[in-house]
Amino acid sequence: MEKGVTFGSNELTILPPQNENYCPQYVRLRLRSEAAAKHRPVSSFTGQSSVDSEGFDPLVVPTLVDHETGRILADSKAICLYLCDALSGGTDLLPADIREAVLKQVQLADTTPHVALLYGADPDGDRRPESMQAVMPGIHAHKIDAVRRNIPLADGDPLLLEAYQHKIVKEEAAASFVINEPQMRTAISKAEQLVTDLDRDLGASTGPWLFGDRFTLADLFWAGTIPARRTSFTSRSTRPKAACRCPTPSPRWRTSASACSRKCPPRWTRAASARSTTSPWPCRPAATRAKC
């Protein structure tokens, strides 16, 4: 949409028991993608979903098919970079003069171990919504069952069979990871450090976005990484509650105090309860979205 092009979207239900992303036609499509040729197949789980660290998983979303060029792109980072470079119209999400800095942020977002925080509980207190806490245990077993059900469909197609086998190995590794307390603690502290750094960078920005007034791929990437997991960063009693009081009548969303103050004059203020001497956060849970 930012690039001002027309596109069609085919939605897949990725949750068990449907797991439409495991159907042979879809997996075969992804096996023809550029990412499939470039990366080793997925065979482990480190809490991230980056192809750089995990390898290529042909059984996930998203996938882009460019019907004009015939190119098949898998992996959101590769898709976004392709669209930014191929399409000249719309917002320039990757301006040449700050390209490297934007790509560095994209890379940081891509390596956030957000999947660990989605599937696994913080051993020191699960901060996910109750609905999520209820469905996540056993999810990997459900995914493995769904893949196994499809294995007969790979008869005579060794590549498809290999893709299913790799997915099972990954999901078994994920099932072990999310109940391994030291591994979960390491993932959580890495995510917290990345979010702290993001909050610092937002605070240093001269505008509402990471790069001042320029909305870039970095903002898009972080927005896709953080909001989905924000509950994992909040609600710990030692951390301040988001407490922004901004008189702007129409609700807007912001990610940092500095960004908000420019968008919502007069300056929003924090409730006294938001201040905590024990919290590492200077203001409120970092980079979470608060209504102002």
Ligand X SMILES: N[C@@H](CCC(=O)N[C@@H](CS)C(=O)NCC(=O)O)C(=O)O
Asked if 150 interacts with ligand X (CB under 6 A), we say no
- Does 62 bind ligand X (CB under 6 A)? Our answer is yes
Q: Looking only at residues 1 through 30 of this chain, which bind ligand X when binding is defined by CB under 6 A?
A: 14, 21
Nearer to ligand X, 106 or 260 (CB): 106
Contact between residue 207 and residue 253 where contact means Cβ atoms under 8 Å apart: no
* Of 112 and 255, CB closest to ligand X: 112
CA-wise closest residue to 32 among 3, 56, 13: 56
CA quadruple 175, 198, 287, 188: dihedral, nearest 10: 30
Tokens of 56: 């290529």
| Residue from 46, 76, 150, 256 binding ligand X (CB under 6 A) | 76
User: Distance between CA atoms of 90 and 111, rounded to whole angstroms?
Assistant: 27
- Work out whether 75 is an interface residue with ligand X (CB under 6 A): yes
Both tokens assigned to 187:
């993932």
Residue with Cβ nearer ligand X (14 or 243): 14
Q: Binding residues for ligand X, how many (CB under 6 A)? A: 12
User: Distance between terminal CA atoms of the chain?
Assistant: 25
Which position among 27, 42, 60, 80 is part of the footprint of ligand X (CB under 6 A)?
60
CA angle 90, 96, 98 (to 5 degrees): 105
Query: Does 144 engage in binding with ligand X (CB under 6 A)?
Result: no
CA distances, 31 to each of 5, 7, 24, 63, 151 (Å): 26, 22, 10, 11, 16
The interface mask with ligand X, positions 236-275, x = CB under 6 A, is: ----------------------------------------
Task: CB nearer to ligand X: give 51 or 175.
Answer: 51
Question: Which H/E stretch holds residue 78?
Answer: helix 76-86
**Binding to ligand X by residue 205, rule CB under 6 A?**
no
183 binds ligand X (CB under 6 A): no
Q: How far apart are CA 223 and CA 279, in angstroms?
A: 24
Tell me which stretch binds ligand X (CB under 6 A): 59-67, 192-200, 207-215, 270-278.
59-67
Minimum separation from the CB atom of position 38 to ligand X (A): 13
78/277 Cα distance (integer angstroms): 42
With CB under 6 A as the contact rule, which of the stretches 1-9, 43-51, 204-212, 273-281 interacts with ligand X? 43-51
Q: Using CB under 6 A, which of the segments 48-56, 96-104, 178-186, 193-201 binds ligand X?
A: 48-56
Q: Phi and psi for 234 in degrees, rounded to 5?
A: -115, 180
What residues make contact with ligand X under the rule CB under 6 A? 14, 21, 49-51, 59-62, 75-76, 143
